[in-house]
Amino acid sequence: MRGALAHRDVIEALRPFIVVAVTARHEDDMPREVGELSRGARNRTSNIHCFVLDAKARPAGSFPAFRGSVVDHERMARGICDELGRIRVELPKPPEPAMHLPDIKSGVRVYLSLRGPSSAGPRPPGDAGKASEGNQYAAPVVECVPIGERERKALAKPERARDVDAAELRAWLEQLTPPAIMEGMGGVKEISGALTLEPSGLLRGDVKLVLDDPNRSSCRGRLEGVVTWKDGAFATVRAAFEGVFGKPDRMRRGTMDFTMKGAIESRPE
């Protein structure tokens, strides 16, 4: 869903609204107000459903987010825009568009892109080369995360080269979650790997991320970057990540391998 919401037409259609997302497996796990909306939806056919409220928080309409094939990013975006146009809500005039990247006063900005399948895994004979990239995977992702004491301590200046447990940078690395992955809740369950931090500031090592889906889908990659310090304390980080994410392909009973690239930069500079 993150891919469809990033479509330029959907962003434009949603500009007058305040957009809130709730993730839960069961209605009992939802906030009370959201659970009541969910139970009252008569046309719910998907596990992703959109609700529109008016200015007084009264339900004005709802619709399933998916229209047609879930791998058709353009069609999903058109469906969302059509449904928003169908629901009559008195809206204020939206401000002039000013597109900019999300930012944070003290933290890091994480970029992520996905391409593939790059080198698909086992497939039935004669099926090689037929995999196509669902364009929702191509939507770029940008997230902002604050810097906490855990990250500052992990990246404190060393007197000699030392190992840093990748899990200590979980708040940053868990943002490297592939978009439009529907097998689980879309989160990272485990992070492992040993990074080496040198007195020169070089930070590098291999990282493994295990997602929270039943198949324990994983991404393995290499993180390399540079850390700077001021008066011996952590100041900035610039790092790049490149790896491969293997997504189970139920139709072909194999695995689709996607190339994942990410970048982490300190904000502000």
Give the pLDDT score at 160.
95
Tokens representing residue 25 in the block? 């497996």
List the chain pLDDT tens, one digit each, 269 residues: 556 777 778 888 888 888 888 888 788 888 888 888 888 877 677 778 888 988 888 888 888 877 655 556 778 888 888 888 888 887 767 667 677 888 898 899 999 888 876 444 433 333 333 333 445 566 678 899 999 999 999 999 999 999 999 999 999 999 887 765 656 566 788 999 999 999 999 999 999 998 887 778 788 999 999 999 998 889 999 999 999 887 767 666 677 788 889 999 999 87
Contact predicate 165/99, CB 8 Å: no
Listed by start position, the domains of the chain span 2-86, 107-267
pTM comes to: 0.62
Question: In terms of C-beta density within 10 A (0-12 exposed, 13-18 middle, 19 or more buried), how is residue 20 classed?
Answer: exposed
Name which of 168, 213, 214, 225 is nearest 191 in CA terms: 168
Contact predicate 184/212, CB 8 Å: yes
Tokens representing residue 64 in the block? 């399933």
| Cβ neighbours of 37 (radius 10 Å) | 18
